[in-house]
Structure formats: structure tokens, C-alpha cells
Amino acid sequence: MQDTMLLGLEGIKKNILHGGTGDIPKFITGAKVTFHFRTQLCDAERTVIDDSKVVGTPMEIVIGNMFKLDIWETLLSSMRIGEVAEFWCDTIHTGIYPLVAKSMRRIAEGKDPVDWHIHTCGMANMFAYNSLGYDDLDELRREPKPLYLSLELMRVQQPSEYDRETWALSDEERLKVVPVLHGHGNKLYKQGQYQEATQKYKEAIICIKNVQTKEKAWEVPWLKLEKMANALTLNYCQCLLRMEEYYEAIEHTSDIINQHPGDFKAYYLRGKAHAEVWNEAEARQDFSRVLDLDPGMKKAVKRELAVLNMRMEEKNQEDRNKYRGMF
């Protein structure tokens, strides 16, 4: 069906390629929409930028959840189930597409779309800002162009018809689910299921960070959320220690210490991680800092120092035995 029409919005034209069935669904706040999409340049070759069918996984968004490419909500709300339509969208609607596409591609590659756990120096961050990691998206960001967005509407589920994952929650709902995830993580930790516990802690941290980005940095609401996130990150680090991921634990605790140098728990866990990788001087320095910040930790620190002394003596003896045979 080649029925071209305008949606009543500047910079959008719709062309129905295959008609759907029934009435247009109710796209109310909280409804989950499942659809396939293909994005193409408006050039002679109709160059394909992204295609969810090639990836093999349809896209899901929740209406009213402030998805970055909000024009999708507008386009989808004009469609029926089973309909396939092509939309020409001017740059006023597609300027942010490269950033959204980067996140979608990282998800498809099995990577974290926000890289919350990856830390780089300021110089590296500067270069990262200048590149999205995909040449075609970098080019599209430098020179925004109109795009063809082809959509196939597969399903619309009302809020009561599906179990909502944390990404589909409102900010208020995210904050309510954080203590639930925290509790599940603690239970899994006590059961020795450390990998599973890290997933619960990480999910809770992401919920908090999503809400925190909407607060002004270093003001009271932001600091309350920061305190919650740090507590969960330290729990996450305890799991890392149990999983012998010592360097990642050092990385996360160092981040907390750099922002909040009075957090004695971060020094304590970093000291334990340093001790495990034979960083004796760093471990002793961290444990000393713990005592400065909280003298009540004296017994725990004394125990860790005793373990450190024993481990260093064992290592020194191993080194002596190894070098003795060389001369």
C-alpha cells in the first residue's frame, strides 16, 4: 500500500507499506511496545544504518519512559498491529539518533550500554567524547541528515499485561525497587552465590544512577542518592573479593575514595584487595587510614594486618627458595 500521508508534525512523512489489523492500540503511559525497525540514509543507495531483524531481536520501549529517541513514540502511535510503515524524518527529529544507536548496538553486542563500570583517565574520556566507537555514527553526528525510519509494529502490552523490568520503571518505581534488589543481593551473598549477587547490586546501582542524573550534582537529593549507590557499590566489591576479582575491586573503591575521602569502608575493602595482590605498602596505608577515620575498626584492622604479615612472610620465603636455586 503506497498511501503517503503527513502526521501533522513538521518534518515527518509516513508511507504505509503493509496495512495492519484492528484499531490503533492504546499507547498509554507504561504500555510496552515491541517492534522491528530499520534506519536508512536518504541517499541513492538507501544505505542501511541499523536493522533489528539483522540483529535478530525486536526493539522494546515503554511509553512515557523518556526514551532518548522520543520521536519513535509519535511514529508508533499512528500504527496498527502488524503494520509496516516507512517514515521520512527531518534532522529536527533525528539529531540524537547516533547516541541512541550506540547504546542499542552495545546492547546487541552484549555490552553495557552506559559503561558505568568502566573508568578511564580524563584524556581518554576527552577522546571518547569525540568518537562513538562506530565510524558511520560519528559521521552522522558530525553531519546530521534526514533519515528513513521503517517500523513494523508487533505488539502493544498495557502496564498490567507484563512484568515490568527495572528499565521500564518510572523514577519513583526505581527508588522503590532498590531496597528489594539490595535485599536479594544480600541473601545471595550469604548463600555464596556471589556472581548472582553482583547482578542484583548492579541493577540497583543503575536504577539509582538513572534517577541521580536528573538531580543537580552535590546538592542534598543528589548526595542522598550517591550515598545509596556507594553502599551498593561496596557490597558489589565484597562480592568481587570473594570472586578474586581484586583489581576491579581496587578500581571501584578508589573511585569512591576519590569522591568521598572519608569513607572508611572503601579504604578497608581496598586494603583487603591490595593485600591479595601483594601491594603491601598500599594495603598498610589503607588500613592505617581506616583507623584514622574509625578507631572502632581496630580489631578488624589488626586481624587483616596479621593475615597480611603472614602472607608476606610466605611470599618472601617462596622468593628466597626460588632465588637460592639460581646461585
pLDDT of residue 67: 59
Same domain assignment for residues 157 and 227:
no
Which 3 state secondary structure label does DSSP give 223? helix
Give the three cell numbers for residue 11. Answer: 518534518
CATH number at residue 258: 1.25.40.10
Same domain assignment for residues 152 and 206:
no
Given 133, 161, 189, which residue is the final one in a domain? 161
Domain count, the chain: 2
Q: Which of 185, 212, 181 is nearest to 197 (CA)?
A: 185
pLDDT of residue 137: 93
* Residue 41 CA: distances (Å) to CA of 51, 72, 133, 212, 265: 12, 17, 19, 35, 52
Q: pLDDT tens digits, the chain, 327 residues: what are they?
A: 444 455 667 899 999 999 999 999 999 888 889 999 999 999 999 999 999 999 898 998 888 765 567 889 999 999 999 999 999 999 999 988 998 898 888 877 766 555 444 343 333 333 344 678 899 999 999 999 999 999 999 999 988 787 667 766 778 888 988 999 999 999 999 999 999 999 999 999 988 988 898 888 899 999 999 999 999 999 999 999 999 999 999 999 999 999 999 999 999 999 999 999 989 999 999 999 999 999 999 999 999 999 999 888 887 777 677 766 565
CATH number at residue 123: 3.10.50.40
Buried b (16+ CB within 10 A) or exposed e, 305-321: beebeeeeeeeeeeeee
Residue 79 is assigned to a structural domain of this protein = yes
| Nearest-angstrom CA–CA distance, 185 and 84 | 43
Q: List strand residue ranges (DSSP E) for 138-255, in order.
A: 147-157
User: With the CA atoms of 191, 196, 199 and 205 taken in that order, what torsion angle do they form, in degrees rounded to the nearest 10?
Assistant: 0
| Nearest-angstrom CA–CA distance, 157 and 26 | 9
Report yes or no: 286 and 254 within 8 Å, Cβ to Cβ. Answer: no
Same domain assignment for residues 149 and 52:
yes
Same domain assignment for residues 185 and 108:
no
Same domain assignment for residues 181 and 150:
no
| Nearest-angstrom CA–CA distance, 267 and 283 | 9
Same domain assignment for residues 153 and 177:
no
Residue 314 is assigned to a structural domain of this protein = no
Residue 156 is assigned to a structural domain of this protein = yes
Which 3 state secondary structure label does DSSP give 203? helix
Same domain assignment for residues 282 and 176:
yes
The number of C-alpha atoms within 13 Å of 255 and in the hemisphere containing its C-beta is 18
- What is the chain's alpha carbon radius of gyration, rounded to the nearest angstrom? 26
Task: Give the structural domain span for 31.
Answer: 3-161
Same domain assignment for residues 190 and 52:
no
Same domain assignment for residues 22 and 156:
yes
Same domain assignment for residues 142 and 7:
yes
Same domain assignment for residues 143 and 21:
yes
Residue 327 is assigned to a structural domain of this protein = no
pLDDT of residue 242: 97
Same domain assignment for residues 134 and 50:
yes
Buried b (16+ CB within 10 A) or exposed e, 80-102: beebbbbbbbbeebbeebbebbb
pLDDT of residue 270: 97
